[in-house]
Amino acid sequence: MKPLHRHLVNTSRKVLCTAALAASLTTAAVATTPSTADAGESEPSPDSPQATDRGDARLDLPAPVADPQVPPTTTAPGGASGIPGTALDAYKRAELSVAAALPGCKLPWQLLAGIGRVESVHASGYGLKPDGSTDKPIRGPRLDGNGFAEVRDTDQGEWDADTSYDRAVGPMQFIPSTWKKWGADGNGDTKRDPNNIYDAALGAGLYLCAGDRDLSDPAALDRAILSYNNSREYVNTVLGYMKQYKDGGVSEIPNPPVGNYPTPPVTGTLPTPTPPRQPVTRPTPNPTPAPSKPATPTTPTKPTTPPAEPSKPTTPTTPTTPTTPTTPTTPPAATLAKVELVGASGITAEAGSAFTAAPKVKALLSDGKPAKNQVVVFVVGDDTTGATRFGTSDSLVVRTDDQGIAAAPGLKAGLKAGTFTLRATAYGSVNEYTVTFKGTVTAAPVVLARKGTEQLDVVVGKSLTGVELFATAAGQPVTGLKTTAGLVEKDEAGKWQPVKPEAAAKGPYFKGGKDGAEKLTVIEPAATGADGKLVLPELFTAPETLPGTYHLRILTAEGVALVLEVKVTAAPAPQA
């Protein structure tokens, strides 16, 4: 299996997915740290931490807030359930993302909605915002073993503000350790936040689809929900809401405002799904026809004078065949027909730096008009640059604007020179359309810097040791860098040139050759280590070395140079 993370972050890593990202993955995505779930990840079991008795984050809400009913519309039947608009969008985006990355899972958004209803009533009462965040953090009971399972702290309080015990967090109530593995970026902000309903819904989808599950199989669906909460009552309740949302219809309602609702007492009782209300159809009464007025008698007409001669019969005409009226045809709805590059197909950045211009594509419909609000998935592949990424993910999902343009901001080059491809894919109802950018990452310039700032002094007849340099590129250590270290002097044009070999007789020198008997003015130090450190070989002086200022140049193959000043001072005169 290729979990949505992997397919989203690798084609989320090879959950947010050439495919996975298609729906939400962000609708923009695909987190603060990359999900660690990998390809072939086994499905979580009912004894996983997420499935423990952890309570929930439902508030004691009035019925109109907890289970709003909406009037019938052209898109929802009478008695349809109301779900806050942002939550509904998050569930549907997650379904689309997972369907694109893991089509074999067949995750329905109504399943995510059922879990969201049981866990936090779709974040109602917490002040759900359009970006998926909430005014108030959503945290379940403290898992200290009193009334619920005991789960010691696993996130140092990062998500649940508790450094002793864990709490389930966010609208989908993730245990922090579960989120660390399955967290996803569902809104394209390059963060993985369990308190954001877009991220949480996508993470839940990835979790439920683990292990090559096919959720259209009732047994697999049962196992998936049990791995989320190991309670038969929980499974039945989630399935009840799932059925309610499927059969009874759902309509978007405004996000409920934040409120000071209490937390209900711990009773272990779960909410009860409401069977969909069937609209009442009333027979249309037949109106009683009004009595007609009696006809007014007419005055008899006088007889006419018969014609003198009978008229000749006319020749009958052939009747014309009536034409069948044509039924006006409704033109088919425009569908996604094309994705094209906006600007050049090549994108370039220096290693470790951000791409200055966001890659852009344009989606068009079959009628030639822009495809508005179309999901487009950007996925980095064939990467030899040491992880070119959108934040911490190698994929990003965005939606097109009113002009059909989708941009992928936040792309940062890897730390090595190399190439990659960036595929932008839009998914239509039948086909998918992909265009490819060719990415190039050029080497960041190496920076050589000496450790310490003290003057390099050596007395005639002594040696200089322990000079350390560090090589970095884009702020990161450069490993295995080879250099040369040599004595230099300026020519008439003011440029540094190597000193002549015979200069070693009267100036500082390195030792080389057999037994170090040879005096050298240039030498190759050992390559830099993993920390980028380079230690210069020992620099010697002889009694005949002339005091003065000398210059030592450390040079890379690419021409990056660092020139150090070395002062040789005369030996102190012997005391009488």
pLDDT tens per residue across span 447-471: 999 998 999 999 999 999 999 999 9
Asked if domains 336-442 and 446-569 share a fold, the reply is: yes
Q: At what angle do helices 197-209 and 218-228 cross, to 10 degrees?
A: 130
pLDDT for residue 546: 95
Question: Closest Cα partner for 184 from 169, 172, 168, 201?
Answer: 201
Window from 17-31, 237-251, 460-474, 482-496 with minimum mean pLDDT:
17-31
pLDDT for residue 303: 52
The CATH number for 336-442, chosen from 2.70.150.10, 2.60.40.10, 3.40.50.1370, 3.30.565.10, is: 2.60.40.10
CA–CA dist 399, 374 (Å, integer)? 5
pLDDT in tens, 465-507: 999 999 998 888 999 999 999 999 999 999 999 999 898 899 9
- Secondary-structure percent of the chain, ordered helix, strand, coil, rounded to 5: 20, 25, 60
pLDDT for residue 312: 57
Sort strands 468-473 and 476-477 into parallel, antiparallel or unpaired. antiparallel
pLDDT for residue 67: 81
Window from 5-9, 186-190, 377-381, 539-543 with minimum mean pLDDT:
5-9
Q: For all residues of the chain together, what is the average pLDDT?
A: 82
Which CATH fold would you assign to the domain 446-569? Immunoglobulin-like (2.60.40)
Contact yes or no for 29/5 (Cβ under 8 A): no
- DSSP E strands, 388-462: 389-390, 395-399, 405-407, 411-412, 418-427, 432-442, 446-450, 456-459
Give ∠ CA 62-63-65 in degrees, rounded to 5.
Answer: 70
Domain-wise residue ranges, the chain: 4-136+179-253, 336-442, 446-569
Stronger pLDDT, 166 or 474, i.e. the higher one: 166
pTM above threshold 0.85: no
Task: Report whether pLDDT(16) > 50.
Answer: no
How large is the average pLDDT for residues 143-151?
88
Contact yes or no for 33/392 (Cβ under 8 A): yes
